[in-house]
Structure 1
Amino acid sequence: MKPIVFNGKFLTVAPTGVHRVAEELIQAFERLMVNCQLVGELPEVTVAAPTTAERKPALSLIRLIKQGFASGLPREFPWEQINLPWIARNALLINLCNMGPIFHPDSLTMIHDAQVYLTPASYSLGFRLWYRLIQPLLGRTNRRILTVSEYSKVQLVRYGIAPAEKITVIYNGCDHVLTHKPAPGFVAERGLERGGYVVALSSTQAHKNIRVLFKAFSDQRLSHLTLVLFGATNRETFENLGFEVPANVRFVGRINDAELSALMVEALAFACPSTTEGFGLPPLEAMILGCPSIISPCGALPEVCGDAALQAAPHTPDQWVEQVLRLADDQGLQARLREKGRQRAGLFTWDTAARKLAEVIGLTVLDASLETSASATKSR
């Protein structure tokens, strides 16, 4: 089997949700290798990263190499487009973070969503133009496109990224959160009480739709509860952008995995009001920890969460108020959602995702071998 190279450009920046997927999937792929669950001879597997990469995934069998003359340039794009194809010239290249080099057709690229088409206001003009230029080229030249939900697959087909028969869905896992023991005392130190707050991701991106939560928590019916937002975006940033932030909103900033686990374990609910999501990992992370989720019925959220989460319309604050109050007033409902949420989220594991990736790699290598054989036959 030919060597495999994972695109490690994501190791140069602070981790985001997409980067989390890449790191967890590579680690799970290594567990498959260690457990000898990959069929046939084990390939040589490498993560290739720019020399500026400071983070290092927890790997023992898979090598990390750092090289490339263009690695110090802005956003690492030149490294990905110039250096990486040479580094992976005789290998199957796997790109897990939406992008990859144009001139390496022996590739698989995971494109998580079509948000640059669905919610262009969430991204800068340069970002939108780059994605709209490169991703359709990857869809045409790569051996296969991977994505994270059936919803995303439909959208990638809709916007001409790739035909349906060329796209494989590999669902994210969420079981990584179970490896982090909740940080003791974190919730109390923030002045929060168990069951007295709702958690959500702090983001100004248009499709994250935090405005509807601000409107809901400005309602007097929720004045006794707190909306806790985690992430880099603070109150001042929202207010400078014209958001009206209620007094009962608390910003806890960037937090680590143990602190996030503590926050979710003791929360009344996790709220995800997004108008679209390619997958929707945070609600599942909450559910597997026993925190009920309230989601909008948009994007891949219903596909992923099933009937194990409550739903509220994305632009109707009253529905969010009502669903939060239902949970607060009904301990039986809380218990049922905790149990259903754990069961549903437990279906999404990184080991399952890695096995699916291994299957796709097997098919890809077979396809490449058939093409080589066909070319040799024609040349005779």
Structure 2
Amino acid sequence: MNSYVLNARFLMRPLTGVDRVATELISASLDAGIPSRFKDILAVRPKGTVVAASERPKDLLSITSTSASKLTGHPWEQLALAKESPESWLISLCNMGPVLRKKQVVMMHDAQAFRQPETYSRAFRSFYHFVQPRLGHRAQTILTVSEHSKRELEHFGVVPKDKAIVIPNGADHILRLAADARILDRHSLSAGGYFLAIGSLAPHKNLKMLIDASNARSDKQRPLVIAGGGNAAVFGANGLRESEHIKMLGRVTDEELRALYENAFALVFPSKTEGFGLPPAEAMTLGCPVIASTGGAIPEVTEGAAISVSPSDQGAWTKAMENLEQCTTLSDELKEQGRERAKMFTWARASDKFLSVLDDLPSD
């Protein structure tokens, strides 16, 4: 039986993105029986305060210890963590791990730092371009979240061909949350009375195109509501401005996000590329109709359960939004198809595949 060390650096960051994936995957795997299936598992984190500790699963925190090293951040991950329990398998689920550690399972979520390097700082992309390909070739096992990400990682030489194993994300964590509908009152939103977008100022999120497409609708009675990525002032400084038909909510809590999904007329998700595409999966889980881009891995997630539109065709986005408003039957069909499709994306399914990967690792 093998023993494992979990790279728990993600506990030192907000519970979003890849850090959420790590939290949910390990929690689901603990529920499924890691302690009984394997000799031992210990999570190790650098010194400091766990971010949003009250939101982290207690079973994860119960196996977490603090590293003796004074290092933090990337230096801790590359140097101190590399020496932690060298006889154990190291599990790193957030794109990075110590490149010196061969006995390691690493999850790489996408190849964005290579596909769109201009969207990252010089220091960030230089570090990723140097470390990640070396890690991708040296680590025993590489995981990723979609066939698209696997192809991208191979294309840029980050991992050898056919080395990466695909484990799609879950989305059913959204069902554990109690919807906080007070956000609707604060922003004068009504059930079914708005289109919802989730995004940031990152160019690949394609929000400027979506705003222009929404503004081109002949009937703008339902506003476009954008959650995440900063407040109206931040968007305004980048040429994206609020108006009577465009509302920018800024960062929202997970509970508020559930309320927004459940009360939206539809989610509109125009990204040029995504390594997975969690918002469409979350929306479908909650029965929210989805209009989604054909970019990146998004079609793998929606697969026949959403209206699919090219991320470069602004006119098609306008038409898709208008068509959905004019066809109640289509909306009902998307709700039903979305819920059915979302059954493919649960953390239990993800953990089953993850544990199978661990089962197949060479024994100590």
Question: Does the alignment reach a TM-score above 0.5?
Answer: yes
Of 186-195 and 107-116, more deviation after overlay is shown by: 186-195
How far is the alpha carbon of 1:241 from its aligned partner? Answer: 2.1
- 1:302 alignment partner, one of 283, 299, 303: 299
1:216 lines up with 2:216 in the alignment? no
Partner of 2:265: 268
Q: How does 1:205-354 map to 2 (within 5 A)?
A: 205-243=202-240, 245-354=242-351
How far is the alpha carbon of 1:217 from its aligned partner? Answer: 2.2
Q: How does 1:173-212 map to 2 (within 5 A)?
A: 173-212=170-209
Partner of 1:31: 31
- Closer/same/farther in 2, CA of residues 280 and 333 from structure 1, 3 Å limit: same
SS at 1:361 equivalent: helix
Partner of 2:110: 113
How far is the alpha carbon of 1:143 from its aligned partner? Answer: 0.3
Q: C-alpha separation between the residues in 2 aligned to 1:314 and 1:49?
A: 39
Partner of 2:16: 16
Of 123-132 and 243-252, more deviation after overlay is shown by: 243-252
Which AA in structure 2 matches 1:144?
T
Q: C-alpha separation between the residues in 2 aligned to 1:345 and 1:221?
A: 32
Which AA in structure 1 matches 2:67?
Q
Partner of 1:58: 57
Q: C-alpha separation between the residues in 1 aligned to 2:278 and 2:180?
A: 21
How far is the alpha carbon of 1:220 from its aligned partner? Answer: 4.7
TM-score, normalisation: structure 1: 0.90
**Deviation per CA, 1:37-56, whole angstroms, max 9, x where unpaired?**
x4xxx321111111114234
Unaligned runs of 5+ in 1: 370-380
- 2:141 alignment partner, one of 111, 131, 144: 144
Which AA in structure 2 matches 1:210?
L
Q: C-alpha separation between the residues in 1 aligned to 2:316 and 2:13?
A: 38
TM-score, normalisation: structure 2: 0.94
Q: C-alpha separation between the residues in 1 aligned to 2:233 and 2:167?
A: 38
Q: C-alpha separation between the residues in 2 aligned to 1:70 and 1:251?
A: 41
Q: C-alpha separation between the residues in 1 aligned to 2:120 and 2:219?
A: 32
Q: C-alpha separation between the residues in 1 aligned to 2:66 and 2:197?
A: 36
Instruction: Calculate the aligned-residue CA RMSD, in Å.
Output: 1.8
Partner of 2:82: 85
How far is the alpha carbon of 1:71 from its aligned partner? Answer: 3.7
Q: C-alpha separation between the residues in 2 aligned to 1:63 and 1:323?
A: 48
Q: C-alpha separation between the residues in 1 aligned to 2:227 and 2:33?
A: 35
Sequence identity percentage: 37
SS at 1:45 equivalent: strand
How far is the alpha carbon of 1:202 from its aligned partner? Answer: 3.2
Q: C-alpha separation between the residues in 2 aligned to 1:247 and 1:164?
A: 50
Of 357-366 and 242-251, more deviation after overlay is shown by: 242-251
Find runs of 4+ consecutive structure 1 residues off by over 6 angstroms. Answer: none
How far is the alpha carbon of 1:214 from its aligned partner? Answer: 1.2
Contact 1:200–1:228 (Cα < 8 Å) also in 2: yes
Contact 1:95–1:110 (Cα < 8 Å) also in 2: yes
Q: C-alpha separation between the residues in 2 aligned to 1:335 and 1:21?
A: 30
Q: C-alpha separation between the residues in 1 aligned to 2:356 and 2:34?
A: 16
Partner of 1:7: 7
